[in-house]
């Protein structure tokens, strides 16, 4: 594929943002113009370029809305929301940078301004969770409140509920599904504003989300599917889509590490831990090579990289994958180095199950099929339609 940036992570994050053009989250010309203002491996120019584009679109949207041009305003607000989210990508970490908080809030406000103009109706929701509230949205698949097949979209490490609209929320609504988007612990507003860290027993998160879904008349209780990563059991799901499938976060990370580090992660010997801390500390300080480590420390509420790597052993489906009883679709992308354990997960699941690889020749080989999300959603919803019809 033609590259915009030499650095792999800059390239991936640019494509992630530009790829939402299919669902109103970007314009290719705008994204190319922004790229021209960004210096390679420069977080400040990345922030400034995307924030400037978002600010401009915010002004255009406000102007259109004031003149009663709802469709123009909605489109500009959606793109502004996506660009605000992209702007703070390389600023994330602990302690939380003030610009991350303010820019996150601006992406949320821009999306909510767009949501107010959507048809069918999009509703801001709060999901009760252990004495707190998880922020989210309920998207209707039609004008009525009739019960419909429902998709819960569960985002990833650095995603937001708003971004989930571009991932598969808009595609769900276009097919007549009710769709529920939310920020769980370690995600979006839950970590940026409330400091809630990730947890390995993710069933404790999905359970109240399903409870909330079942309280809504727009949700068919017999046809609820989950798209994302499932770390535990939820017997009320009718289908599961994992994009990408991962049986073990520890194995995923080990596959991307030098062998001398991967083989010694669990060691407590000071002769091992000190060199590991030194190597990981140096890597953490690199803008892009250490980005995943900094993000992991932040969303898990940890201080030391080695503690983060050891924590990953808790995030495993190896001993419980056979308890997932609903029909499952396990996905992977051909060039994605996240999801190397997808086949292992698939092999551990009981029937019925389907495995699908998205190919690079189709432009869908990147993480979460960035740049080819329409192709992903076509395959997934065609599969899901058949499963739920049965």
CA atoms of 356 and 94, how far apart (whole Å): 36
| Count of beta carbons in the 10 Å neighbourhood of residue 245 | 27
- Cα within 13 Å of Cα(266), Cβ side: 7
Helices (DSSP H) in the chain: which residue ranges?
8-18, 28-35, 43-66, 70-87, 98-115, 161-164, 170-174, 188-192, 203-214, 249-254, 259-262, 270-284, 291-300, 305-311, 342-348, 373-389
Structure tokens at 101: 């908080």
Q: Catalytic: 230?
A: yes
Among 64, 86, 230, 328, the one annotated catalytic:
230
Structure tokens at 282: 């140096």
- Cis ω before 352 (30° cut-off from 0): yes
The DSSP bridge pattern shows strands 239-242 and 219-227 to be parallel
CA atoms of 239 and 226, how far apart (whole Å): 6
Contacts 24+ apart (CB under 8 A), 99-105: 99/47, 100/192, 101/192, 101/193, 103/47, 103/51, 104/160, 104/188, 104/189, 104/192, 104/193
Q: Is the separation of the CB atoms in 9 and 370 below 8 Å? A: no
**Phi then psi for 364, rounded to 5 degrees?**
-115, 20
Rg (CA), the chain: 20
- Determine the straight-line distance between the first and last CA of the chain, rounded to whole angstroms: 39
Backbone region of residue 55 per phi and psi (left: phi > 0; alpha: psi in -120 to 50; beta: other values): alpha
| Count of beta carbons in the 10 Å neighbourhood of residue 256 | 11
Task: Provide the annotated active-site residues.
Answer: 230
């Amino acid at each position: 594929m033609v590259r915009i940036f030499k650095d792999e992570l800059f390239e991936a994050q640019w494509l992630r943002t530009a790829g939402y053009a299919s669902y109103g989250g970007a314009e290719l010309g705008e994204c190319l113009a922004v790229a021209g203002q960004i210096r390679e491996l420069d977080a400040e120019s990345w922030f400034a370029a995307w924030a400037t584009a978002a600010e401009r679109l915010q002004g255009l949207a406000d102007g259109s809305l004031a003149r009663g041009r709802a469709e123009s305003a909605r489109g500009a607000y959606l793109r502004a929301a996506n660009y605000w989210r992209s702007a703070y990508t390389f600023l994330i970490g602990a302690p939380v940078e003030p610009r991350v908080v303010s820019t996150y809030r601006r992406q949320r406000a821009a999306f909510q301004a767009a949501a107010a103009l959507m048809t069918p109706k999009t509703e801001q929701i709060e999901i009760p969770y252990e004495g707190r509230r998880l922020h989210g949205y309920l998207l209707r698949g039609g004008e009525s409140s009739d019960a419909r097949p429902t998709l819960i979209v569960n985002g990833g490490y650095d995603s937001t509920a708003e971004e989930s609209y571009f991932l598969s929320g808009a595609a769900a609504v276009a097919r007549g599904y009710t769709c529920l988007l939310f920020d769980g612990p370690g995600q979006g507003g839950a970590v940026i504003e409330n400091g809630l860290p990730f947890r390995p027993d993710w069933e404790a998160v999905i359970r109240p989300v399903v409870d909330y879904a079942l309280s809504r008349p727009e949700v068919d209780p017999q046809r609820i599917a989950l798209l994302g990563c499932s770390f535990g059991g939820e017997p009320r799901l009718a289908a599961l889509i994992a994009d990408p499938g991962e049986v073990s976060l520890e194995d995923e990370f080990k596959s991307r590490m030098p062998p001398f580090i991967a083989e010694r992660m669990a060691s407590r010997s000071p002769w091992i831990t000190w060199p590991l801390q030194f190597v990981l500390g140096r890597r953490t300080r690199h803008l892009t090579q250490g980005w995943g480590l900094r993000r992991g420390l932040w969303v898990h509420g940890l201080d030391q990289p080695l503690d983060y790597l050891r924590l990953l052993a808790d995030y495993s489906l190896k001993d419980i994958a056979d308890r997932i009883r609903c029909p499952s679709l396990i996905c992977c992308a051909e060039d994605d180095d996240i999801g190397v354990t997808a086949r292992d997960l698939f092999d551990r699941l009981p029937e019925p199950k389907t495995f699908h690889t998205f190919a690079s020749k189709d432009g869908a080989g990147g993480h979460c099929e960035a740049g080819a999300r329409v192709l992903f959603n076509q395959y997934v919803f065609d599969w899901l339609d058949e499963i739920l019809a049965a």
